[in-house]
A and B are shown apart, each in its own frame.
Chain A
Amino acid sequence: MRLVYALLLLALALFLALPLPSAASGDRLYIVATLPVIADLVSMVAGERAVVESLLAPGVNVNAYEITPEDATRMAEADLFIYVGYGAEEALGLYAAAIRDGEGVVRLLDLLGREGLLKGDNPYFWMDPLTAAKAVEVIAGLLASIDPEGASYYMERAVEARAELEALDAEVREILSAVPPGERKLVTVRDTLRYFADRYGFEVVGYVTGKAGTYEPSVKTVTILADRLRDEGVRVAFIEYEEAGTTLREVLETVAEELGFETVGFIYVETLDPGAGIDSYRDLMIHNATLIAEALSTAGDGEEYKGGSTLPLPGPLKYEFMVRGLLTLIVAMSVASLVGAFAVLRGWAIFGDALAHGALAGLVVAYLAGAGFYAGALAAGVLVALIVSTVERRTRLRADVIIAVTFATMLSIAIVLLSRVGGATISIEDVLFADVTAVSREMMTRTITLSLIVAAMVAVVWRQLLLYVIEPTMAAALGVRTGLIHYTLLGLLALTVVTAFLAIGYVPTIASMMIPPAAAFLLSRRPSQFIALSVAIAVFSAVAGFYAAYLLDLNAGATAILVSAAVFALAVILKRH
């Protein structure tokens, strides 16, 4: 016990001895803004009188950002905390308001809205330099109210800033003059270029989502987008740097591949990228304008627009990528339910959860190491399987406890890695909700191949597997190699989880491993019936869910799971005692 106390004291001492980060701003104002681009605009007026920092390091996606204690300290110590007020970025503002009791926290959209500077609810006002100039003037007034001695200084700076931004506007307009009138169509992942388009005479033709924050693509929205892009004869779409690692980008690229247009990246919206020479708001605007001008003025040179081909199928299935999505959903859910049925009999229903979280940590490590996502996820999945089964065999703990401990640990590892490493444009939510709205050929082929391998392995060992999951001791007493069967089941689980996880996303995967088998469990009296029914419910849920998602404009994977949950609820009602 003494040792424990000594260690605790040592830990406390180390904790107290850690230097707390300090702004070291001296007499100057200390201002923290959420986004690098906003921090740069603020610093145009703040000048020498303030230290301006952005909360997010350049390159960090606000949707993937996790608040660290150091950042919370910066939020608390700042004289002024500025946020724009949309999506995940707004959550940071609310967090700051909570720890500062609302003092010295400014939501720009409120401030600019009161001045009548905004158009609708699109938050990306700074993509137009003249709106940015007005915003800078408003910010100057704000700084003057906090630091009255500097009022005239801020006003002077605001006048200079306006001049600079007007010059920037002229420069951007000059760069964009290369784009012929017929090609002035903008397609992006999010609706980020509305202010830009209005200022420079472009039309925003489409985007995957107009909503800020985490968003699940819906079958219907994507079908409508594809229809629109085809009708408009769009030849180029632009990818925001902030969306580099997201599902939404994959959706747009899959649509582009199918319709035969090009995706060009990256344009910058929220963040700066010193590595690519984008150090300031000005650099960002010039970079975007140059990229857009080049891409649109050379797009489809000498080629006639074809618009891709469509299949003679109803609704969303006229697009091949939608057919691929449906097939992938059916196959991934079926194989997850097949393997899940055995896991449910063994009392490992929650195992899929641990594996998926383990795979997530592996995914992040693989991303950071520049290795393949699939290899990383699979390695981590196998590692989790080994840890859980080894601890289960060596201790008296029940599997559910070990599984819960393992998955919470793996998820925390993933979050720690993400919070520790800057420059990550991978978003946890996007990985969690990989989506079948648009599935690439490669993804479909891989999913189907691996699923067939899993199904073939089950077909070979199903008899021993069945005995093992129902009565392990009997299997051992009959000389069945239970160790081999045990690790085969673990391997199948890991392979299935990772395969399904990367294709249809985390929630549909763990749900497919549990819900169809749970419903089938209630409705079956025979093992073969149980397994067949598990798979049948999965297939039905995938097809019905996909169509319901199209008709009701919902996310396909989640809707499919809700269908299987409805089947389960029905089974409970039918079979209640």
Chain B
Amino acid sequence: MLGGPKMKDVRACEVKGITVRYRRGQPPALEDVDFHANLGEMVLVAGPNGGGKSTLLKSIVGLLKPEKGSIRVLGRDPYRDPGVRRLIGYVPQISDLNLNAPITLWDLVALPRLALRGRPIPFRGLKDEDLKAIEDSIRRLGLEDHADKLVSELSGGMLARAMIARVLALDPKIYILDEPFESMDSESEEIAVKVLVEEKMRGKLVIVAEHHIADASPYDRAVLINRRVLMEGSPGEILEAYRKAAAR
């Protein structure tokens, strides 16, 4: 390190007053939003569809450029400094994965790690430690019996777990998951939540956006957003407020 602030002193994620707009002349998807989270936390981002949850997460990953405000991830700007994205494990809500491609679940999990840490062709692409990380991740999500299946042969729930396994294999500092449980049955969700809680306990930051919230108990903190931050607090409070709002 270059004598800068130590990792534990740095806010893992610091969003200050960002406004994000997809098209000029249209209302912003996010307006003057503040958000922060620390390592060792599991944070829920709740809100209605179209409320800006995905926009916030994409901005933190560095895929969108806010027109106002600032974002720091581990002290770096993820839009201008894509290197910091290597420390983030992002599971998008909608993936543009080519589902018909000749790739197995194993390959799906291995590809991001291969892209970041693999070697050029005369060498073996992945080292033993890489293979171990990939296989561990598959096992932790209970997918070891399906590793040889083509992605086109996987059920929605298995594919969704595989999406988590692949970011797990990257061993990132921060997990950012956009509605990861949406296509999971309760058993899959249970496995996935357990893994995410384990990661939190290992000192990782886990940020999850959810729309249908079955159980808020794993979260340490929650924010409710609908274009702006409406509320911040304990998951229970947020859940109650969100359900009341939804009922109206």
Contacts and interface: CB of A to CB of B under 8 A. Distances in A.
B233 interface: no
A508 B107 CA distance: 32
B102 A526 contact: yes
Contacts of A529: 102
B200 interface: no
A474 B101 contact: no
Contact of B114 (A345, A467, A479, A481): A467
A462 B120 CA distance: 7
Contacts of A471: 95-98, 111
Q: Which of A464, A472, A479, A528 has the most CB of B within 10 A?
A: A479
B167 to A, nearest CB: 9
A463 B114 contact: yes
Nearest to A528: B125
B61 interface: yes
A464 B61 CA distance: 18
A346 B101 CA distance: 9
Contact of B92 (A459, A469, A473, A528): A473
Interface in B131-156: 148, 150
Contact of B86 (A346, A462, A478, A526): A478
B85 A474 contact: no
A526 B115 contact: no
Contact of B115 (A459, A466, A530): A466
Given A466-B111, A466-B114, A470-B111, A476 B63 contact: yes
Contacts of B95: 471, 473-474
B121 A521 contact: no
Contact of B98 (A464, A469, A480): A469
Nearest to B170: A478
B82 interface: yes
Given A466-B114, A466-B115, A475-B115, A527 B107 contact: yes
B71 to A, nearest CB: 15
B122 interface: yes
Nearest to B123: A459
Interface string B202-225: 000000000000000000000000
B76 to A, nearest CB: 11
A478 B116 contact: yes
Contacts of B83: 479
Interface of A: 345-347, 458-460, 462-464, 466-467, 469-481, 520-521, 524-530
Interface of B: 61-63, 82-86, 88, 90, 92, 95-98, 101-104, 107, 111-112, 114-116, 118, 120-122, 125, 148, 150, 170
28 contacts: A346-B98, A460-B120, A462-B121, A466-B111, A467-B112, A470-B97, A471-B96, A472-B96, A474-B90, A474-B95, A477-B63, A477-B85, A477-B88, A478-B85, A478-B86, A478-B112, A478-B115, A479-B82, A479-B85, A479-B86, A481-B82, A521-B102, A524-B102, A527-B102, A527-B103, A527-B111, A528-B125, A530-B102
